[in-house]
Structure 1
């Protein structure tokens, strides 16, 4: 598919426009919870990457960069509660609309939201056991992506996990069908634009500094990961 041979770096998602329809934007934030549970693969990531770090004694801290409507932060906290382990998630997003939605919708123990950039927290001297993001990397140009990774490396004590879309004809075709039920929001149109904007694993590997690894994940995701609690190699 010629459309996907190169990254559509200049494509714009409708929900990112400052004057987009607020009702459709709110419906998009609400539908993200369903999309992420069904398609983003965080249940497996939680079991493999986060759950082994959690205990019932002291909370493991997680920073969710670009937390959007807050559904992932709330979901992770819910899984930890059911497992009787302690987790504290801080969700940050520079978009005031996303922050206001998340802060108003999710009132859970161990979950907080801030309107901030990762660089703001780094300047404050903060650190977290794990830094994560979901569907953020494709929004960034190469220099912005490298800055995010540098911030993540400075903020994470144990590991950083950036889960994102993977550009491919199969991903585009699968999402084209899978997103049909999500009506009245920006989910389908913006999701297809996101795939066109996303990086391939080879592109991510070429941009990431030493220590980071791009791991393809079926059917149309990839994980850019830095594990500080394991030797590189």
Structure 2
């Protein structure tokens, strides 16, 4: 089926967001997130550019908003441990199923898992040196996006950084993802939501221009290959 990618498909809903989604398929999806994120969003760049330089200056407080299965947090914890560096990492998600699975698969990473909203942390007076999200923005309504950015500004400590990373909607991204996941749909991604939900995610995602038009003063939007967006609040804006 061909889809119109000229505008965001805000009416489309990812299957894993259904409260009645098959739990076995959901857990297989969480298990495959690390591979998909490594290929699509390249979280290692976030670690090298934003986290590692700050961690070398002292112990960090890191917040992952919408952490899902917690794979990015675990990757960060592993790399910091290998580098002999320390951080307090909080994985936040409003879906209790995701937080429960992530906590059960922590593997000794020592991450703090919380089923809550970013606004709950603001109410508690939470402060973090690095606030980030991965593939969350396209899930949100416009009001929810505005709320996330306000919360992010309140949660980031002086001298810290906020980086919200997502997919950029394009025919190229849709086509490449469709081909890659079709090849693996009968093996690695079998019995998961990876293929169908990933395609829906791309349809719901922003273009660079659309996201830039939504960004408040002090935020910038960057584009990265193959099809990634980064909505960032610069250090000087957060200080």
Give TM-score, length-normalised by structure 2. Answer: 0.92
Per-residue CA shift, 1:90-109, capped at 9, x if unaligned? Answer: 00101010011011110434
Find the counterpart in structure 2 of residue 76 from structure 1. 76
Aligned to 1:3: 4
2:31 aligns to what?
30
Farther off after superposition, 158-167 or 82-91? 82-91
Equivalents in 2 of 1:36, 1:193: separation in Å?
16
| 1:74 alignment partner, SS class | helix
Q: Runs of 4+ in structure 1 displaced over 6 angstroms?
A: none
Q: How do residues 69-108 of structure 1 correspond to structure 2 at under 5 angstroms?
A: 69-108=69-108
Q: Which runs of 5+ in 2 are unaligned?
A: none
- Structure 1 CA distance for aligned equivalents of residues 164 and 216 of structure 2: 14
Task: Return the alpha-carbon distance in structure 2 between the equivalents of residues 189 and 224 of structure 1.
Answer: 25
Residue correspondence of structure 1 range 50-199 to structure 2 within 5 A: 50-55=51-56, 58-157=58-157, 158-180=160-182, 181=184, 182-199=189-206
What is aligned with 1:44? 45
- Cα distance, 1:145 vs structure 2: 0.5
**Cα offsets for 1:84-139 (capped at 9, x unmatched):** 11122100101010011011110434411000000000000111001000000000
- The offset of 1:34, in angstroms, is 1.2
Q: Distance in 1 between matches of 2:77 and 2:12?
A: 34
CA drift at 1:143: 1.3
Q: Root-mean-square deviation (CA), in Å? A: 1.7
1:177-204 C-alpha deviation (Å, 9 max, x unpaired): 2223122100010000000000111111
Evaluate the alpha carbon distance shift between residue 200 and residue 124 of structure 1 in structure 2; reply closer, same or farther with a 3 A threshold.
same
Contact 1:60 1:87 in 2 (8 A): yes
Tell me, in whole angstroms, the C-alpha distance in 2 between the residues paired with 1:64 and 1:22. 23
TM-score by length of 1: 0.94
Q: CA deviation at 1:208?
A: 1.2
8 Å contact kept, 1:74–1:108 = no
| CA distance 1:100–1:231, change in 2 (3 Å) | closer
How many residues get paired?
231
Preserved CA contact (<8 Å) 1:159 1:225: yes
Whole-angstrom CA distance in 2 between matches of 1:85 and 1:231: 24
1:35 alignment partner, SS class: helix
Note the C-alpha offset of 1:40: 1.1
Contact 1:62–1:90 (CA under 8 A) maintained in structure 2: yes
Answering whether residue 224 of structure 2 is matched by residue 217 of structure 1, we say yes
